[in-house]
Amino acid sequence: MAVLHNRISQAELKQRLFEEKEHRTTISFYHYFPIEDPRVFRDELYKNLDTIKVFGRIYVAHEGINAQLSVPDSHFDALKSYLYSIKPLEGIRLNVAVDDDGKSFWVLKIKVRDKIVADGITDPSFDMRNRGKYVNAEEFNRLTSDPDTIVVDMRNHYEYEVGHFENAIEVPSDTFREQLPMAADMLKEARDKNIIMYCTGGIRCEKASAYMLHQGFKNVFHLEGGIINYANQVKEKGLELKFKGKNFVFDNRLGERITEEIIARCHQCGKPADTHVNCANEACHLLFIQCEECKNSFDGCCTKECQEVIHLPLEEQKIVRKGIDKGRNIFNKSRARLRPRLADLNKKLP
């Protein structure tokens, strides 16, 4: 029976990645289509992708597939051929990363989920086939030149913070499931206006466009392939670039630079910065923005308390980590929830 998971430690797998000589290309794709048995589909996918040394994170559900991958350059064509051999994925657009060091993933994980993007939608009459109209980069630029067009960012607040389109509306939230009803409520007075929704690679804004139509909105569009495809099209066609800053991505890079503008600030000192990091204290692991000076001052930690923890002997650090649920530990809304955990850390400090 084929082994469908890794038995090697994450640290060793990551070390192997950084020792690789061949460059990897990071790509992403998604597609909403019915999958009768997600587990069978998942196992077949794993065996074929593992053979060509693909790394990445893939979610499979009855509603389709959502994938972020890295593949050795010499196997790119093999990956493409295999994906296109799957009938519903034939000819699917593969979003190639804009700013890619080839170190985005170091292991292949394919998980079966209830949905490929958690949306909180329970209405059985909701239908993804009734979705908004695609717009490419050229159409996006033309439509957004109209002052009556409303541009809506369907990403989380920490993604919007480091980069977004000009005049885009933020729907301030930690999760997509929270955003959908919030967006509909925020835009309830604009039901007849042109509304363009966008996200990182297209999966969230496509579902959001269907949700808005389901809520009675009329002229709903979504950016095909999201920010990644937009940036590539702008470069290929010499179009005006309307995105500012960095595009947050959910892999080891935590961002790809679209423009040189830094529109965010360090969460510790307030200086211009847009580099997301996870707190070096594994008992915290807070996702936040940190400049180089604060990185050096705090040893990559978010607080002095966490800095104390990482200098404890390893066995004592394990004791500190025991029983702590980090949850969705993200700077801003989640930071208030960090305080009780820091209190717990302090109790455990010697």
Please give the pLDDT value at position 103: 85
pLDDT confidence band for 345 (50 / 70 / 90): very low
CA angle 176, 182, 187 (to 5 degrees): 125
Name residues whose C-beta falls within 8 Å of residue 242's C-beta, 6 or more positions apart in sequence: 140, 141, 144, 165, 166
pLDDT confidence band for 322 (50 / 70 / 90): confident
CATH architecture of 133-245: 3-Layer(aba) Sandwich (3.40)
The 10s digit of each residue's pLDDT in 14-26 is 667 666 789 999 9
Res 329 pLDDT > 70: no
Query: What mean pLDDT do residues 36-62 have?
Result: 96
Please give the pLDDT value at position 82: 98
Delimit the CATH 3.40.250.10 region(s) of the chain. Answer: 133-245
Res 350 pLDDT > 50: no
Number of other residues whose CB lies within 10 A of the CB of residue 14: 15
- Contacts from 259-268 at CB under 8 Å and sequence distance 24+? 259/163, 263/161, 263/162, 263/163, 263/164, 264/161, 264/162, 264/289, 265/289, 266/290, 266/291, 266/294, 267/302, 267/331, 268/294, 268/298, 268/302
CA pair distance 340, 346, nearest whole angstrom: 10
Written as one letter, the residue type at 10 is Q
Please give the pLDDT value at position 346: 46
Under a CB-based contact definition with an 8 Å cutoff, are residues 59 and 111 in contact? yes
pLDDT confidence band for 341 (50 / 70 / 90): very low
Res 66 pLDDT > 60: yes
pTM assigned to the model: 0.82
Question: Looking at domain 20-112, which of 3.40.50.300, 3.40.1180.10, 3.30.9.10, 3.30.70.100 is its CATH number?
Answer: 3.30.70.100
Q: Is 199 a catalytic residue?
A: yes
Burial 48-81 (b: 16+ CB within 10 A, else e): bbbebbbbbbbbbbbbbbbbbbbbbeebbebbee
Under a CB-based contact definition with an 8 Å cutoff, are residues 173 and 157 in contact? yes
The 10s digit of each residue's pLDDT in 240-258 is 999 999 999 988 889 999 9
Res 320 pLDDT > 80: no
In residues, how long is the chain? 350
Residue closest to 330 by CA, chosen among 291, 289, 287, 276:
287
pLDDT confidence band for 13 (50 / 70 / 90): low
Res 33 pLDDT > 60: yes
Residue closest to 58 by CA, chosen among 117, 1, 6:
117
Name residues whose C-beta falls within 8 Å of residue 52's C-beta, 6 or more positions apart in sequence: 71, 72, 75, 78, 79, 82
Please tell me which residue, 218 or 84, carries the higher pLDDT value. 84
Please give the pLDDT value at position 319: 79
Please tell me which residue, 88 or 320, carries the higher pLDDT value. 88
Please give the pLDDT value at position 147: 87
Quote the mean pLDDT of the chain.
88
Under a CB-based contact definition with an 8 Å cutoff, are residues 299 and 140 in contact? no
- Contacts from 154-158 at CB under 8 Å and sequence distance 24+? 154/179, 154/183, 154/197, 154/198, 154/199, 154/204, 154/205, 154/208, 155/199, 155/200, 155/204, 155/248, 156/330, 157/332, 157/333, 158/248, 158/276, 158/287, 158/330, 158/331, 158/332
Catalytic residue from among 199, 205, 294, 302: 199
CA pair distance 45, 83, nearest whole angstrom: 9
Res 297 pLDDT > 90: yes
Please give the pLDDT value at position 165: 97
Res 277 pLDDT > 90: yes
Res 160 pLDDT > 60: yes
The 10s digit of each residue's pLDDT in 165-207 is 999 999 988 889 999 999 999 999 998 899 999 999 999 999 9
Written as one letter, the residue type at 138 is E
Delimit the CATH 3.30.70.100 region(s) of the chain. Answer: 20-112
CA angle 235, 203, 284 (to 5 degrees): 100
CA pair distance 230, 3, nearest whole angstrom: 38
Which residues on neighbouring strands pair with residue 65, listed in sequence order?
31, 60
Name residues whose C-beta falls within 8 Å of residue 148's C-beta, 6 or more positions apart in sequence: 193, 194
Query: What mean pLDDT do residues 273-299 have?
Result: 94
CA pair distance 18, 10, nearest whole angstrom: 13
